[in-house]
Amino acid sequence: MTEFPMARFEIKLPAMGEGIIEASITKWFAGEGDVVNEDESLVEVATDKVDSEIPSPVSGILKKIVYQEGEIPKVGEVIAVIETDKENKTIEDVSTSESFAEEVETKPSSDIENIPVRESVPDMNDKQPSSDNMPDKKKIFLSPYIKYLARQRGITNGELNKIKGSGNEDRITKNDLNNYILAGRLFKKTFGKNIIQEHQKSPSQERAGTINENEEIIEMDRVRRLIAENMLKSKKTAPHVTSFIEADVTGLVTWREGIKEQFIKNTGANLTYTVLITEIVAKCLRDFPRINASVEGDKILIKKEINIGIATALTNGNLIVSVIRQADKENLHGLAIKINELTQKARLNKLLPTEIKGSTFTITNIGQYNSLTGTPIINLPEVAILAVGTIKKKPAVINIIGGPAIGIRDIVMLSLTYDHRIIDGALGGGFLNSIANSLENFDINRVI
């Protein structure tokens, strides 16, 4: 092992955005005594729904882990000490969420990242040697987290030797590993019985001691567990009521079709229906402040800011809500740019902790998969959530000169789920009707 002089670097928990004072240590990628490389992911921390990897700022030996997995340090506290041959130094609080974003990739899932590597893959504890498990002549280099994920998924040394790495010096990256699995290396096809029992048991199976060979076992990742806990808490806490309304959005659809190409040229952002609905919802919330609220005991807290959350489905099957702050003060251009940016960052796992906190009302677009409507679960501590179904062309009654007639119209179904502790049907229905009226009476002569 390389010898390092006794210079010490203290690794402190960086600032992670406004209002965030602590984080939970979810995983150390190295142990005490391990050699770590500069820029290699050292530790994963979590705040609410977001996981963040902190890289090592220096190369050296991880001398001491101050906070263990599951413990919760505060921002600025020392979480680890590294010995190195460089000058004594303390790695201070990065001080701003923007600079922290340059050092740490923030992500709402536990997927591994393309991080530097440092040592060869360890024994995978295979019970019986086979041609698949025998190491190849070449030496495979993997990051600690790649090795961890390989073990969790039951990928053997032999399989790793078959994966062509796309990283520096042919090193295996997260994309290489994921692509290998997606290409057909499914758990249920390749897991040996011992590996399934070691890595994929559910609590019920641990109790029973048996595994059904006709079932595939997938453990919830941390984000999915949090989503499950939050949804269950919401249903237990808030009595849910859902109201529905149809809106004729023919004028809005026609206007958007005529302006969307020019809008992209002017702003660089897509003029989506989500953008247009967000603008309308933000204005309606001004007139219905009790919808923009939360409940604390027997008190109703009316929020002065209108911060609209936009629910985004991720490629890993999870869901995250990014936040447009003070949405009612943004013009259409500003809303489009912010929504496009946050949606893209969400899908690339690059949202900052501050970009998913503080929403006061949430919009979820369930129409992207042709769903007509739904009954969404309230995103606590909010008291209401709007679901937007797909826009369908339907025959509808229209009023023309001479009397009613049947025409082909663009119709959307909206559903509002609200907390019946403080929102009754009249208030919830009035707010929903206000949104529908604004959509139906959209100014088709609007100039951008």
User: What region does 404 belong to: left with phi over 0, alpha with psi -120 to 50, or beta?
Assistant: beta
Sheet holding 24-28, edge to edge: 24-28, 41-47, 50-55, 105-107
Q: Measuring CA to CA, how many Å separate 415 from each of 226, 374, 436?
A: 25, 7, 11
DSSP 22: B
Q: Which residues are 418's β-sheet partners?
A: 241, 384
Identify the CA nearest to 418 among candidates 388, 392, 385, 372. 385
By DSSP bridging, strand 240-248 and strand 403-419 are antiparallel
Identify the CA nearest to 80 among candidates 68, 71, 72, 97. 68
Q: Cα(13)–Cα(76) distance, rounded to whole angstroms?
A: 5
Q: Which two tokens stand for residue 263?
A: 């809008």
Q: Cα(252)–Cα(330) distance, rounded to whole angstroms?
A: 19
Do 351 and 52 contact (CB within 8 A), yes or no?
A: no
Coil/strand/helix, residue 280: helix
Q: Which two tokens stand for residue 44?
A: 């994963």
Q: Which of 248, 410, 420, 443 is the catalytic position?
A: 420
424 is catalytic: yes
Q: Measuring CA to CA, how many Å separate 154 from each of 27, 145, 183, 332?
A: 19, 14, 16, 49
Backbone angles phi, psi at 148, to 5 degrees: -60, -45
Identify the CA nearest to 391 among candidates 245, 249, 244, 243. 249
Q: Which of 48, 298, 424, 443 is the catalytic position?
A: 424
Q: Cα(223)–Cα(417) distance, rounded to whole angstroms?
A: 23
Q: Cα(125)–Cα(214) distance, rounded to whole angstroms?
A: 25
Do 97 and 354 contact (CB within 8 A), yes or no?
A: yes
Contacts of 99 (CB under 8 A, 6+ apart): none
Q: Where are the beta strands (DSSP E) in 195-298?
A: 240-248, 293-296
Tokens 């979480």 sit on residue: 79
Which positions are catalytic?
420, 424
